[in-house]
A and B are shown apart, each in its own frame.
Chain A
Amino acid sequence: MVGKLSAVVLFGPGIEAAELTALFPLLTFIIILFFGRYLPLKGAIPGILATGGALAVSLWGVADIATGAGPRQETLLTFVEGVAGDGVTLTFGILIDPLAILMLTIVSLISFLVHIFSLGYMNDEGEIDLPRYYAGLSLFTFSMMAFVFSDNLLMSFVFFELVGLCSFILIGFWFREAGPPSAAKKAFLVTRFGDYFFLIGVVAVLGTFGTAQFAGADSFVSIATEQLENGGTIMNTFLGFGDGAWITVIGLLVLGGVLGKSAQFPFHTWLPDAMEGPTPVSALIHAATMVAAGVYLVARMYGFYVLSPTALSIIALVGGFTAFFAATMALVKQELKQVLAYSTISQYGYMMLALGGGGYVAAVFHLTTHAIFKALLFLGAGSVIIAMHHKENMWEMGGLRSEMRVTYLTFLAGSLALAGIFPFAGFWSKDEVLFETLAHGLGGSPVLLVAYAFGALAVVLTGFYTFRMVFLTFHGEPRTELAADPEPVRWNVKFPLAVLGVLSVVAGFINMGVLKEIIGEGNLFLHEFLDGKTMDADLDSVGLSAHHYAEVLESDFAAGYEVAELNPLGPGAVATVLAVVPVVAAWYLFRGPDVEPKMTKLGSVRTLLMNNYYQDEYQVWLARGLTLPAAKVANKFDQGIIDGVVDGAGGVSLFAGERFRKIQTGVVTNYAALLTLGFLLLALVFALVGGWI
């Protein structure tokens, strides 16, 4: 600890003090929990300070790594010690590499802005129970930070679960109404279902490799790579699987948790319902914490996933399909936040598509830009919701752009980024996702081409639903009196919007992949950063650099992907056209002062989409029709047989005791007689056995 402090004093906070990013929010959580109700603004100030501090530390860490420091891996706490090389050692540790520090920065930035926004959305609106709200936000930030810098899978799992718990607490914040508690329960149960597989995956990793470390020569990733490359028996497989197949099984088990948290098909059903929570919480969940956790986990152990072509194909297919599938549902939604919810599912689908398609940098890039523009869109929606006195139906809005200048302009920037219009942030990242998938697909993986086709179709839908939303909300004439005279919002709403609005425009320039033939690969900053090129130490040696992943990905013993030579300008042009055309179409359909509902022309397709393909219905049917009867049978067995045996034993001894206690007369003479008789009897037995008589 003293060494730590002196390191901080000598070298500045930066990566040597990256734990602080989690410790600050933890501290504020405790403070707000106990003293929140006595604090001014009910605990908002400590939250803002803590996340602001975490942001400063993270930015310092980025600067550290950009100027040569890192990576840093350190065990902080050993809670189970392996006995003399036998058994496993379970630890909590910290791993700071370019990926982790980038994610820490995103989380702290979004959390910081969400705290400020909450002043406008919660405090100014006179909500009650605010200490509970701010304590929840702090705990949420803490869990996500600790999850991000976890250096092993077990620690990841622990904080992954804590993130899930926090989302439960915050989605159900307004528990006095009917909707939020039910939505919170649904989010918790659906993600828990996925996490169950993750838990088995963690145990399988520990059983197979004896370690759950992410990085270094002793990590499970390295052991698996070594085994596949050179053979031998350095890992245990179970159930008669071969090495490669067993690695795939483990990858898919962990993927269960990822699909649940990142709301991928078929576990996406919880996310639209989670809109019942306060809007700033939605921004936090969708941009930086809960939903991002799943994709981040795959990126974190990407060195493991590149070993399994099957797992990668499944990730790519699920991702591409989810991107498309969720986008279709967003087309017909009438509530502002619902559209955004489905766009979140769709965009995380893109990230999964990139990861499955071998585009590690593309996925992290899209995670970054999406965090910015999706937080922006949610906060913008929050601003509209304040203005509309908590009405969310877009058909009751219209014409808001003249009254809400800042909100309109920033929301527009976010929408352009989401739709992927040049040169906004989303364009660069979405284009890179599609380019990487296409390049690897053309290299000889037809599955990826299918996934790419889904992704490209989803681009069209994205542009359309995004601008349908923009036109319905901000353009035309106000359709209600409320929309004609919206409530003004204050600086605490406008400031986060302005920051994120600017970032939505410029964030894409950190990695202008489309232009790499023109500006040179060395100028793709994010690519260089994730590759560890800025660091003095060799990021390859711990197996965390982008080109190490690419190398393994293209090895025959691993996924064996081939990359087709492809000029990124061509697919870039295609993606641009795919994005611009639907925006124009949306403008054509929803322009003018009096907008008529157009989507009703879709008829029964619209009904299907409005009902979300009856996904909820079939999942409820699964729960009621399958799980409930099974649970009832199990309950019968438990109550009848297990409990019956125990109750029976108790009953027999109770009955026997009832009878036997009568020999206790309380008369001391009787006891003496019994003693004597007993002794005589014993003597008689001994005499008989001993043969004295």
Chain B
Amino acid sequence: MAVSIEWYLLLSAAVFSIGLFGILVRQNALMFLMSVELLLNAANINFVAFSLYWGNLTGQLFALIVIALAAAEVAVGIGIILVVNRNFDNIDVTEAATMRW
């Protein structure tokens, strides 16, 4: 039997909230990056759930694109983290604040 749509949405909201909490409070850049991944995947869950609900493949297609995007983003993000580490000797996101004005 199929799981009803509300459960998917609830799961998605929970994952999103965990991600949001992560980017608001984490100082470690790696954790920060992972939180962003959680946000993206919360959206993916929604896409796939509604795709199943409506019987329309467009949502799944979008999910694939978001996964590709997330992969690229991680590559760039980790690059940035490496540079931050080289410059500040740690990867605390609150310390890399010297380029504001």
Contacts and interface: CB of A to CB of B under 8 A. Distances in A.
B100 A668 contact: no
Contact of A669 (B24, B98, B99, B100): B24
Contacts of A676: 20, 24
Contact of B23 (A661, A664, A665, A669): A669
A669 B25 CA distance: 7
Nearest to A675: B23
Interface in B13-31: 20, 23-27
A661 B100 CA distance: 9
Contact of B94 (A661, A664, A669): A669
B68 interface: no
A665 B95 CA distance: 11
A656 interface: no
A673 B20 CA distance: 9
**10 closest pairs, A vs B, by CB?**
A666-B97, A666-B100, A672-B23, A664-B100, A667-B94, A668-B93, A667-B97, A661-B101, A673-B24, A672-B24
A673 B21 CA distance: 10
A667 B101 CA distance: 12
Interface in B26-48: 26-27, 32
A664 B101 contact: yes
A73 B20 CA distance: 82
Interface in A632-676: 661, 664-669, 672-673, 676
Contacts of B101: 661, 664
A523 to B, nearest CB: 92
A672 B24 CA distance: 6
A20 to B, nearest CB: 66
Contact of B93 (A661, A664, A667): A667
Given A669-B24, A672-B24, 18 more contacts: A661-B100, A661-B101, A664-B100, A664-B101, A665-B97, A665-B100, A666-B96, A666-B97, A666-B98, A666-B100, A667-B93, A667-B94, A668-B94, A669-B23, A669-B26, A669-B93, A669-B94, A676-B20
Q: A669, A673, A676 — which one has the most chain B CB atoms within 10 A of its CB?
A: A669
A572 B76 CA distance: 103
23 contacts: A661-B100, A661-B101, A664-B100, A664-B101, A665-B97, A665-B100, A666-B97, A666-B98, A666-B100, A667-B93, A667-B97, A668-B32, A668-B94, A668-B96, A669-B24, A669-B25, A669-B26, A669-B27, A669-B93, A669-B94, A673-B24, A676-B20, A676-B24
Contacts of B25: 669
A652 B97 CA distance: 28
B56 to A, nearest CB: 26
Contacts of B93: 667-669
Nearest to B27: A669
Contacts of B99: 666
Interface of A: 661, 664-669, 672-673, 676
B37 to A, nearest CB: 14
Contacts of A669: 23-27, 93-94
A544 B25 CA distance: 93
A661 B99 CA distance: 13
Contacts, number: 30
A665 B32 CA distance: 18
Nearest to A676: B20
A676 B94 CA distance: 18
Interface residues of B, number: 15
Nearest to A661: B101
B36 to A, nearest CB: 9
Nearest to B22: A672
A673 B97 CA distance: 16
A139 to B, nearest CB: 55
A667 to B, nearest CB: 5
B3 to A, nearest CB: 27
Interface in B80-101: 93-94, 96-101
B18 to A, nearest CB: 14
Contacts of B94: 667-669
Nearest to B100: A666
A405 B93 CA distance: 101
Nearest to B95: A667
Contacts of A672: 23-24
B31 to A, nearest CB: 11
Contacts of A673: 24
Contacts of A668: 32, 93-94, 96
A604 B85 CA distance: 97
A87 B98 CA distance: 61
A368 to B, nearest CB: 76
Q: A664, A665, A667, A676 — which one has the most chain B CB atoms within 10 A of its CB?
A: A667
B38 to A, nearest CB: 13
Q: B25, B26, B98, B100 — which one has the most chain A CB atoms within 10 A of its CB?
A: B100
A163 to B, nearest CB: 58
A532 to B, nearest CB: 80
Contacts of A665: 97, 100
A412 B82 CA distance: 99
Q: B25, B26, B32, B101 — which one has the most chain A CB atoms within 10 A of its CB?
A: B101
A368 B75 CA distance: 88
Q: A664, A672, A673 — which one has the most chain B CB atoms within 10 A of its CB?
A: A672
A381 B100 CA distance: 77
Nearest to B20: A676
Contacts of A666: 96-100
Contacts of A664: 100-101
A625 B32 CA distance: 76
Nearest to B29: A668
Nearest to B26: A669
A597 to B, nearest CB: 82
A665 B101 CA distance: 9
Contacts of A667: 93-94, 97
A673 B94 CA distance: 13
Nearest to A663: B100
B96 to A, nearest CB: 8
Contacts of A661: 100-101
A80 to B, nearest CB: 50
A345 B48 CA distance: 97
A664 B101 CA distance: 8
B30 to A, nearest CB: 13
A269 B72 CA distance: 80
Contacts of B24: 669, 672-673, 676
A670 to B, nearest CB: 9
Contacts of B96: 666, 668
Contacts of B98: 666
Nearest to B98: A666
Q: A661, A664, A666 — which one has the most chain B CB atoms within 10 A of its CB?
A: A666
Contacts of B23: 669, 672
A668 B26 CA distance: 10
B2 to A, nearest CB: 29
A673 B100 CA distance: 17
A566 B15 CA distance: 116
A669 B28 CA distance: 11
Nearest to B101: A661
